[in-house]
Amino acid sequence: MIHMRRVVFIVFAAFLGFSAWAQEDQGRDLSKYANDQFRSDDKYTVETPYETVTVAPVNPENEIKNVIFIIGDGTGMTQISTGWVLNGGHLNLDNFKNVGYSRTTCTDRLITDSSAGGTALACGQKTKYGYIGVDEEGKPLQSLLHYAQEKGMKTGVTVSCRINDATPADFVCHSLDRHEEANIAAQYVDSKVDFLCGGGRKFWDEREDGRNLIEEMESRGYTFVDSREQLAAVESGKVVGLFAPLDMPPVLDRGPILEESAVKAIDLLDNEKGFFLMIEGSQIDDWAHRNKVGYMAEELFEFDRIIGKVLKWAEQDGHTLVIVTADHCTGGLTLVKGSVEERTVRVHFSTKGHNDIYVPVFAYGPHSELFNGLHENAEISRIVRSLMR
């Protein structure tokens, strides 16, 4: 009798367990990630999508004259997927037929930062966390931009963060500490980069050492601008544009400064010997850090609109290699709900930091098939350099 009671109890307990499992399995809305208990920062809807472009492939055997290297800071596949849903199932990124992946680890940590990640992309060599344009021993590295200058090409950098922040600095400067921002800014004065636009003006004319880097740049023949109108009026020559004391405001507040500066850079840099231009969608990363999907999405949209304009120009030119990638992924973003037709998403951020998920590499133009497959981030830079020879 006692034995029978135990059997009945076990069967009853098993039935209760099965019922609980079945309830949980069928009622997944009980999950905090799927039961409408979202902060307002976790959902976003786009009322009016933007138009995207379509480009045809160019002759893959053409000689490469220009390189446009576009970096979406913190931009992984989930950021791109979220943007694709919000824009109604269309992005300019859809044009890329040659797509690979990049591993972003640095030499002393699994999870990289923009300094080490950007150095690998800029210089073709992995380095330590926080290092800018130097190897593990602190020795200066030659970036793709420096290599372009050596070949007589014009060069440019345009970003929406401080121009002396990690990623832009990786292409121009050298430092053992990304936080030495005043020192990094000063290195731009003698950099001979033809086109520089971004934020961070306080590091140029409100310096503790009393230097006015803007005046020093002007004495070297640069035109200084601090507004969209002034930038639009420039017709030739070297340019330094500083549009905010630190990072620029969010894109819906600042307007299309990055988009316009990218177009202006191409216009001013285009020449017989070719050019190298680095464009960074800097604040995709910033708003992923803050776990604000709407702000992040709007930065991604501007980034993608820039890609559309670059691709149309490269299609007509036929001799321009376009690379789009990221230094790392940010926010542990997961797309958990949404509708392409309604252009709405709900997401979950698992972290406010970076992670080590592979990031995409998109390539367009001559020899772009070389970027297919899985690469270390530094290898992307080395392939670009080999094609610039």
Catalytic residues: 114
Q: State which H helix or E strand residue 25 sits in.
A: helix 2-26
> Could you give the maximum distance between any two Cα atoms of the chain, in Å?
101
Q: What residues contact 23, with CB distance under 8 A and at least 6 apart?
A: none
> Is the sign of the CA dihedral 293, 299, 305, 309 positive or negative?
negative
**What's the gap between Cα 257 and its chain centre?**
16
CB-CB neighbours of 336 under 10 Å = 14
Cα within 13 Å of Cα(347), Cβ side? 30
| Cα–Cα separations (whole angstroms), residue 163 to 171, 255, 383 | 11, 18, 26
Q: Which residues contact 151 (CB under 8 A, 6 or more apart)?
A: 273, 274, 388
250 touches 284 (CB < 8 A): no
